[in-house]
């Protein structure tokens, strides 16, 4: 909040109580809006919660940390860039399951905002929702997510190729469940940018090994350049 407030956008705290297997849990999404003039909107989103894992000293440098850091920097860039569409930068709470991941026990914050935006009309103006998750891995392999809009995936890969980042983007399609799934059923054009191969046999994912030595600034730069290029292409 202290880093977002000085940026000059409209900052909203979207507080709610999530009904989880552990009972009611208070949660809050942070929604930052930079108004445009076109009447359309583009959202760049990610989660800022960190999974609570009993008996594990889980830091979540990549899982929760990387998307949070990415969005803080993206917000600073968005605050200065010329744009026609409304630009939203959204920090979702409650992406992680309280217990084991199921459709019901996961993505609490994005589900809440999707319902709110459906009722207040924001969803109808949304051109695209670009979600980032686990993008800090120094061994960067961005998935080709089958649950994302195929056109947006192609556009993302075209931007990456143009920037010389093609090698970081996997061409083979695979379905990923993430915060974008809260918006896909309403027909929103969604794109999930995630590297879901984290360490040998995913050994750093949801373990005490998810620490900042596994990340690299270069990976943030690659994803940042691609998201920025994509937003510039979409904005008109």
List residues near Zn ion by CB under 5 A. 63
Residue of minimal CB distance from Zn ion? Answer: 63
Cβ(156)–Cβ(135) below 8 Å: no
Do the Cβ atoms of 144 and 150 come closer than 8 Å? no
**Beta strand 23-34 pairing with 86-92:** antiparallel
What gap in Å lies between CA 203 and CA 160, rounded to an integer? 27
Q: What are phi and psi of 227, to 5 degrees?
A: -65, -40
Nearest distance in Å: CB 106, Zn ion:
9
Nearer Cβ to Zn ion (134/230)? 134
Nearer to Zn ion, 150 or 203 (CB): 203
Closest separation between CB of residue 206 and Zn ion, Å?
6
Backbone angles phi, psi at 123, to 5 degrees: -55, -40
Between residues 14 and 96, which has the closer beta carbon with respect to Zn ion?
96
CB 200 within 8 A of CB 137: no
Residue with structure tokens 């083979």? 172
SS3 217: helix
Shortest spacing between CB 189 and Zn ion, in angstroms: 24
Whichever of 63 and 179 has its CB closer to Zn ion, that residue is 63
Residue 140 CB, nearest approach to Zn ion (Å): 17
Give whichever of 38 and 207 is closer to Zn ion, judged by the CB atom. Answer: 207
* Minimal distance, residue 51 CB to Zn ion, in Å: 5
């Amino acid at each position: 909040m202290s880093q977002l407030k000085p940026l000059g956008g409209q900052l909203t705290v979207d507080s709610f109580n999530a009904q989880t297997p552990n009972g009611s849990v208070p949660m809050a999404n942070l929604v930052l809006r930079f108004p445009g003039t076109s009447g359309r909107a583009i959202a760049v989103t990610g989660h800022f919660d960190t999974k609570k894992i009993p008996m594990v000293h889980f830091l979540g440098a990549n899982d929760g940390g990387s998307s949070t850091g990415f969005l803080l920097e993206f917000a600073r860039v968005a605050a200065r860039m010329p744009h026609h569409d409304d630009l939203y930068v959204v920090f979702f709470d409650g992406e992680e399951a309280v217990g084991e991941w199921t459709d019901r026990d996961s993505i609490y914050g994005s589900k809440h905002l999707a319902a709110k935006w459906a009722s207040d009309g924001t969803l109808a103006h949304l051109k695209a929702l670009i979600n980032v998750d686990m993008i800090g891995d120094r061994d960067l392999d961005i998935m080709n997510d089958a649950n994302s809009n195929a056109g947006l995936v192609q556009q993302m890969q075209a931007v990456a190729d143009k920037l010389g980042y093609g090698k970081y983007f996997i061409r083979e399609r695979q379905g990923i469940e993430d915060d974008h799934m809260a918006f896909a059923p309403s027909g929103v054009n969604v794109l999930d940018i995630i590297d879901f191969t984290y360490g040998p046999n995913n050994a750093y994912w949801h373990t005490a090994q998810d620490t900042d030595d596994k990340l690299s600034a270069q990976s943030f730069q690659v994803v940042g350049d691609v998201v920025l290029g994509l937003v510039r292409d979409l904005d008109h």
